[in-house]
Each structure stands twice: as structure tokens, then as C-alpha cells.
């Protein structure tokens, strides 16, 4: 976590699907003082929800693990990292293709990364097989 942030937080929780809502609300509460529009807040909440859900369903599958979220604010820019130490992503570019899913039996749409990219100003993914995945996202809150 950078020291030069105006404000920052880190939270960790078990990879329990019930914690996805907690993560979304925690990040929304943290950035609320930036006075985002309803649309900006919805964009951030949706992107966080997608990233956390990916960590729980794909990163850890049926195993318990820890999902970590780091949020930093500098000026009116929100930087978010969603980190897991799960199985990792074999082919990030393939995983980012719309409608691609490794869990069709769960009726997953395969749109998680596409949604994150479209709702945030920046998004990229780093992953190492067997070590986990980090999703980096950035959203500029307009004046």
C-alpha cells in the first residue's frame, strides 16, 4: 500500500460467497466521502463484486482461502486491488474474453472481466498458477 494515498484501507475475509456483499458495501462506504455519482458508485460496487466473486468461485473453487481487498484514494482517483492466493489463471487473455467461463455448470455468464473493464477506467490482471491472482482497478470520480 502506497504511503502517498490521501486515504487507504485493507480488508481480508474468508472466501465465503456470503462475503461478496460485505466487500461491495465496505468499498462503497470507504469511497463515499469522495461524493461519487450514483452511477460511479454502482460501477465500483459492481466491479468489486465481480472481482471478489471470481476469487471465490474460480480462485479457490471449493477450498477455503482469504480474499484481500486494498483500496487507496489519491485526489479523486480510487485504486482497488482484489487479491487471492488461489489456483491462478492459466491464460489471462482467454479468461478476459467475453462469455468465456470455466464453470458453465454454475450458469456463469463469463462476463466478469468484461464488466470490470467497462465499469472502471483501468483494469488489469496478474496471476501465477498455484499462487493466486490480483485484479487491479482504477476509477476516477469526476467533479
Q: What is the mean pLDDT of residues 27-33?
A: 97
**Is 108 one of the catalytic residues?**
yes
Answer yes or no: 54 catalytic: yes
For 32-86, write each residue's pLDDT tens digit: 999 999 999 999 999 999 999 999 999 998 899 999 999 999 999 999 999 999 9
Beta strands across the sheet bearing 7-14: 7-14, 66-74, 77-84, 132-140, 122-128
Q: What angle do helix axes 19-31 and 38-54 make, rounded to 10 degrees?
A: 140
Q: Where are the beta strands (DSSP E) in 1-143?
A: 7-14, 66-74, 77-84, 122-128, 132-140
Catalytic residue of the set 40, 50, 79, 85 = 50
* Catalytic entry in 19, 81, 108, 126: 108
pLDDT bracket for residue 93 (50, 70, 90): confident
Give me the residue spans of the domains in the chain: 7-140
Per CATH, domain 7-140 is 3.30.565.10: yes
pTM of this structure: 0.90
Q: Which of 24, 40, 54, 85 is catalytic?
A: 54
Q: What integer pLDDT is reported at residue 91 of this predicted model?
A: 80
Amino acid at each position: 500500500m502506497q504511503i502517498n494515498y490521501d486515504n487507504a484501507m485493507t480488508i481480508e475475509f474468508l472466501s465465503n460467497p456470503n462475503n461478496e456483499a460485505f466487500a461491495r458495501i465496505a468499498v462503497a462506504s470507504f469511497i463515499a466521502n469522495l461524493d461519487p455519482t450514483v452511477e460511479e458508485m454502482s460501477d465500483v460496487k459492481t466491479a468489486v463484486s465481480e472481482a471478489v466473486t471470481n476469487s471465490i468461485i474460480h480462485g479457490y473453487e471449493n477450498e477455503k482461502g482469504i480474499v484481500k481487498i486494498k483500496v487507496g484514494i489519491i485526489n479523486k482517483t480510487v485504486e482497488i486491488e482484489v487479491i487471492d492466493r488461489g489456483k491462478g489463471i492459466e491464460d489471462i487473455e482467454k479468461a478476459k474474453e467475453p462469455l468465456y467461463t470455466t464453470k458453465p455448470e454454475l450458469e456463469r455468464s463469463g462476463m466478469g472481466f468484461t464488466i470490470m473493464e467497462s465499469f472502471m477506467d483501468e483494469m488489469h490482471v496478474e496471476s501465477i498458477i498455484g499462487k493466486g491472482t490480483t485484479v487491479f482497478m482504477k476509477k476516477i470520480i469526476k467533479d
